[in-house]
Structure 1
Amino acid sequence: MRKTISVICVFVFILFILLFPEVTVHAAADGLLLWYTSLLPTLLPLGILSNILIASGYFHYITKYLYAVIKPFYPISRAGVFPLFAGLLFGFPLGSKITADLVSSHEMSKAEGNILICICNNLSPVFLNGYVFCTCLKRPDLLPVGIVSLYLPPLFYGFFGLLRCKKGTVFSPDTKKPTSRSQLNFKIIDAGILNGFETLTKLGGYIMFFSILTAFIRMFPFGSELTQTLCAGILEVTTGIHKTSAIRSFPLRFGLALGFTSFGGICGLAQTSSMIKDAGLSTTHYLRMKTVFAISSVCIGMLLLSGM
């Protein structure tokens, strides 16, 4: 049954492409333009650098000092500090990519990796400030409320999840980390560059695909404005947040924007799945926790907004 539904969906998608080639071309161009102008120059250098740091072992020098600062407050491993800070600062999807690379290189266990991809794979503070609160909501003064609402649930979950992992009551390392020496050569740099371009090319394909799908959905309006906004936000985060601008009630706009941002959209789920599949991390667990975080973020945000 599931296979039949998948075949039907693919057939319908191809049919729409053939029937509406102009819409397809414009949507694909918009998606690729977003990828080329925003994601590629922002994430590619960071992706290449993280690949080189992990492959060379030099990231240990960075985590050495960060771990000493965060260890008394947060029960994370020394290797886990790297994706935690990189994911929170630079945002999705670097958090999941770096975590998966560390699991694949046996720097951390799958158990810790499954927790970390839920903590550090969020949209960055720069995106929140520039796009969500300044451009769409036009309320930059609410940025602190947004940061608390969006980052508190995953960090809270991570604290207790990592604490259990560290104590070994539920989780245990899958493999022992092999001993290695830090080194840097052109072979590692070349591999890091190729890996970075491969990762960003995948992201570009997913963004183009979901841009086309979103354009097709917009062609066939159904239900109320709220229903259309919910469908768009669940499918792709930036489109959903943009459509909240048409909703008159600001508390409702604010809550929806927080929910879409926290969840990340099905497009974000597909991109994350492509980042973590080779490391054996759980997409199902990631989806379940992102749904919980989205609901929690909306509740916290509305509570804080009502108290202002």
Structure 2
Amino acid sequence: MKVSASLLKTIMYSGTSIFLALSFMAFPKEAYEASINGLSMWWDVVFPSLLPFFIISEFLIRFGVVSFIGAFFEPVMRPLFRVPGAGGFVWAMGLASGFPAGAKLTARLRQEGKITAIEGERLVSFTNASNPLFIFGAIAVGFFHDAALGIVLATAHYGGNIIVGLAMRFYGDNSQNRNEEKSHFSLSYALKLMHEERLKDKRPFGKMMGDAVHSSIQTLLMIGGFIILFSVLHRILEVVHISSILSFGIFIILSFAQLPPELSTGLLSGLFEITLGSQMISNTNSALLLQQAVVVSFILAFNGFSVQAQVASIIAETDIRFKPFFLARCFHGFTASLLTFILFDFLYHEPAFSGDHLPVLSTTAGIERFFVLHYHWLLQWGSVITLTALALWCISFLYRLPAAKK
């Protein structure tokens, strides 16, 4: 009997689902604890940090500001990355808010017809990045107690994204690009585009605002589900000792790269979930700080299967394919690691204090201090923001039900 590829996929998907279901029943305590950890991260950090950016981006698109920005950045984005000028808006918002905002906005531009599928595949490959708050606040300060390390990680991460974007410009056929807009910026032309875009949307402002909030929260609920799922999946793989088998393969790879094999467990965890993997790497005392930074840079750039699943779910609503994004993540991982290795001695300045109780705020200045303070503020008030937003969303949802039934 000849087995088709489609049948093999069916067997693989169903087998994986059965395995997970049986594992959840066999290890309910471990699954529950892992789900709580994933929920806590989403509740305290992810939701409150992404919600404002998602809502604002909806308004910027509907009011035509993205078209204005696109006309401004067209002479830059088109020659460098072979994407429309609106990609500059996606790049900036993705950097400021973190993943998967780049994928969310790229999908919106594709749905609006502002980019082609090929341009969307190029754009999503280098605009889905970690935000500075996470790099400086969670990883550099929270895990390594060293804000100076954030400069190295951020430079390698965003520099690697630029290199990926430049490499992806050679991806795809020129014939699949949309018609190029004006090659130079004209204020009158940009204002005209913005005005025409705003007039296309006939909805009242209140309706537009409500739709923006509903769309943003629905996306964030989906993101939370993926975070919890992959947190539980990673824990189950540890319990059934599959992680040990996978770690052995990574152990061999790290040995060839002349990196401490003790980092293999943290690297494997980071392939699933960035936060957990980075924390485990920071606790590996047998590795030098440079070696730890190289591996963490790879984890940040790879995004983890959890973020990649979120991106796959978001772009599935369009004709943008996931495979180019995945290959770009692998390339970004190796590029960011290499940049960390090259730039570490130039950018890293060892702090005057060391140890787990490093007074990071007193020894941190400038942009590092800004991101650290904001991250700590987010940890303190993030849960309140999430609870308030979800409560208002539920009230709004119940209010809209009678209107929807008419």
TM-score between the two structures when normalised by the length of structure 1: 0.88
2:270, 2:276 within 8 Å by CA — same for their partners in 1? yes
| Residue 249 (str. 1) matches residue 287 (str. 2) | yes
User: Would the alpha carbon gap of residues 15 and 163 (structure 1) be closer, same or farther in structure 2, given more than 3 Å must change?
Assistant: closer
Displacement of 1:122 after TM fit? 0.8
8 Å CA contact retained: 1:91, 1:120? no
CA–CA separation in structure 1 for the residues paired with 2:130 and 2:175: 29
Give the letter for the 1:273 counterpart.
A
- Whether the 8 Å contact between 2:37 and 2:231 is mirrored in structure 1 is yes
The one of 134, 155, 158 aligned to 1:151: 158
Does residue 292 (structure 1) correspond to residue 292 (structure 2)? The answer is no
Shift of 1:115: 1.1
The count of aligned residue pairs is 304
Structural mapping, 1:72-83, within 5 Å: 74=80, 76-83=83-90
Tell me how far 1:108 sits from its aligned partner.
1.8
Deviation at 1:288, TM superposition (A): 0.3
Give me the whole-angstrom Cα distance separating, in 1, the residues matched to 2:310 and 2:232: 16
Counterpart among 71, 96, 103 of residue 89 in structure 1: 96
Write out per-residue CA displacement over residues 198-254 of structure 1, whole angstroms, 9 at most, x where no aligned residue.
100100100110111122233336257433222211111111111102322123211
Q: Is the 8 A contact 2:62 2:197 kept in 1?
A: no
Q: Distance in 2 between matches of 1:174 and 1:14?
A: 49
Distance 1:19 1:8 in 2: 16
SS in 1 for 2:84: coil
- Which residue of the other structure, out of 210, 221, 224, is the alignment partner of 1:204? 224
**Pairing partner for 1:227 from 243, 264, 267:** 264
> 8 Å contact 2:55–2:213 — kept in the other structure?
yes
Contact 2:164 2:328 (C-alpha < 8 Å) held by counterparts: no
AA aligned opposite 2:32: V
Gap change, CA 1:31 and 1:295, over 3 Å in 2? same
Structure-2 change in CA distance of 1:112 and 1:8 (3 Å): same
What is the CA-CA distance between 1:127 and the residue it aligns to? 0.8
Change (3 A) 1:41 1:249: same
Question: 2:116 corresponds to which residue?
Answer: 109
Q: Does 1:215 align with 2:235?
A: yes
Aligned to 2:44: 37
Query: RMSD of the alignment, in Å?
Result: 2.8
Q: 1:92·1:123 contact (CA, 8 Å) conserved in 2?
A: yes
Residue aligning to 2:314: 275
Q: Which residue of 1 aligns with 2:127?
A: 120
Q: What residue ranges of structure 1 are gaps of 5+ in the alignment?
A: none
1:73, CA displacement in angstroms? 8.6
Q: Equivalences for 1:49-68 in 2 at 5 Å?
A: 49-63=56-70, 67=73
Amino acid at match of 1:173: R
Residue 242 of structure 1 aligns with an amino acid whose one-letter code is Q
In 2, distance between residues paired with 1:132 and 1:96? 23
Worse overlay, 184-193 or 202-211: 184-193
Alpha-carbon distance in structure 1 between the residues aligned to 2:112 and 2:101: 16
Aligned residue type for 2:216: G
Distance in 2, Cα, partners of 1:58 & 1:244: 42
The change in CA–CA distance for 1:233 and 1:5 in structure 2 (over 3 A counts) is: same
Query: Amino acid of the residue matched to residue 279 of structure 1?
Result: T
Q: In the alignment, which residue of structure 1 is the partner of 2:401?
A: none
1:186 deviates by 2.3
Any idea what SS the aligned residue of 1:208 has?
A: helix
Is 42-51 or 152-161 further displaced after alignment? 152-161
CA contact 2:62–2:198 (8 Å) conserved in 1: no
Match of 1:259 in 2: 298
- Aligned with 1:92: secondary structure? coil
Aligned twin of 1:192:
212
Q: Distance in 2 between matches of 1:71 and 1:274?
A: 26
Aligned residue identity for 1:94: A
Q: Taking structure 1 as reference, are residues 8 and 254 closer, same or farther at Cα in structure 2, changes over 3 Å only? A: same
What per-residue deviation string (whole Å, max 9, x for no partner) do you get for residues 242-297 of structure 1? 11023221232111111101101111110111111112112100000110110111
User: What is residue 341 of structure 2 aligned with on the other side?
Assistant: 302
Q: Which letter does structure 2 place at the counterpart of 1:255?
A: V
Which residue in 1 is equivalent to 2:177?
172
Deviation at 1:159, TM superposition (A): 3.4
Separation (CA, whole Å) in 2 of partners of 1:225 and 1:209: 26
Kept in 1: contact 2:308–2:326 (CA 8 A): yes
Which structure has the bigger radius of gyration? 2
Deviation of 1:157 after TM superposition, in Å, equals 3.2
